[in-house]
Amino acid sequence: MRVQVFKTEAGERAVHALYRQVLDGWFCPKEELRLPTREGETFVVAYGAEDLPPLILLHGAQSNAAVWMLDAPSWSKSFRCYAVDMIGEAGFSAPSRPPLDSEAHALWLDDLMQGLGLRRAAFVGVSLGGWLALDYAKRRPGAVEKMALLCPAGIGRQKNFLLKAAPLLLLGPWGRRKFREMVFGPFRGEPPPALRPLAEMIGAIGRAIRPRVVSIPRLSDAELAGLEMPMLVIVGGKDVLIDTEDTRHRLARFAPHAQVVYLPEARHAIFGQSPRILEFLEAPPSPEGKGVREVPSPACGRAP
């Protein structure tokens, strides 16, 4: 279902120009792939040696593959990473937003996996990208080796934050800044020169994109219980978009083998978890079997 992702063509051009700057300054050697799928062309940033284990990276809404730039140097030493621009978002993939309550996104990922020559991979997903990974895992369990999910949609209840906070977006730059602080936390100082294009791109996306205002399907109890692959789920105590307590409760009840990291001060955007995720991805399967593994953490680290 093709849609108008950006409010204006000028906004789209501005975001894509800044995205190109970010890609040109990528922190490790990379390739840029454009793969055909049933939903249209899909853009992928690939990095890491081709003979390393494959890792699919799925960003969240109102974003693109640039969110993985900081993780790229360390993760590319252990994995062949494929940072995917989700269809219908602020990257270079097709402006298609098929219904979430259908098999459409799983079929799109089937095409993507085939185009990459993959039958099985590990997945990392953020927010809506976490839902993508969960939806694919429930439909194609044999294709998902393990999953690391940051503030994933699809498990806990979705809050109606966007409706409550929407008036802020009508208040100009101040309102947009307050809106982003509620999701990301307060910003401190100017970013270093190497990250300024990324920061400018994120701001431009917020001004230019048409956000998805949809109810994201949640996995049923049976579907959640059917996920037997290793899982790491990192959630924040101050998440304004997803009900963190509901996420923790459902995981403990229906997916007790999952490792759950609870960061009390973290908001929906969770930073500083790259080493933890890499450790999980590199770890061999646990011989201990199922068992509740919630790992509390007193603080949330921020991106450097």
What is the full per-residue pLDDT of the chain (304 aa) written as tens digits?
A: 789 999 999 999 999 999 999 999 999 999 999 999 999 999 999 999 999 999 999 999 999 999 999 999 999 999 999 999 999 999 999 999 999 999 999 999 999 999 999 999 999 999 999 999 999 999 999 999 999 999 999 999 998 755 555 554 544 564 555 555 555 566 566 778 888 999 999 989 989 999 988 899 999 999 999 999 999 999 999 999 999 999 999 999 999 999 999 999 999 889 899 999 999 999 987 655 443 456 555 444 333 2
DSSP string, the chain: -B---BS-HHHHHHHHHHHHHHHHT-SS--EEEEE--TTS-EEEEEES-TTSPEEEEE--SS--GGGGTTTHHHHTTT-EEEEE--TTSSSSS--B---TTSSHHHHHHHHHHHHHT-S-EEEEEETHHHHHHHHHHHH-GGGEEEEEEES-SSSSPBP-HHHHHGGGGGSHHHHHHHHHHHHH----SPPPGGGHHHHHHHHHHHHHB-----PPPPPPHHHHHT--S-EEEEEETT-SSB-HHHHHHHHHHH-TTSEEEEETT--SS--S-HHHHHHHHHSPPPTT-S--EEEE-S------
Annotated domain spans of the chain: 9-296
CATH T-level assignment (fold) for domain 9-296: Rossmann fold (3.40.50)
For the whole model, what pTM was predicted? 0.89
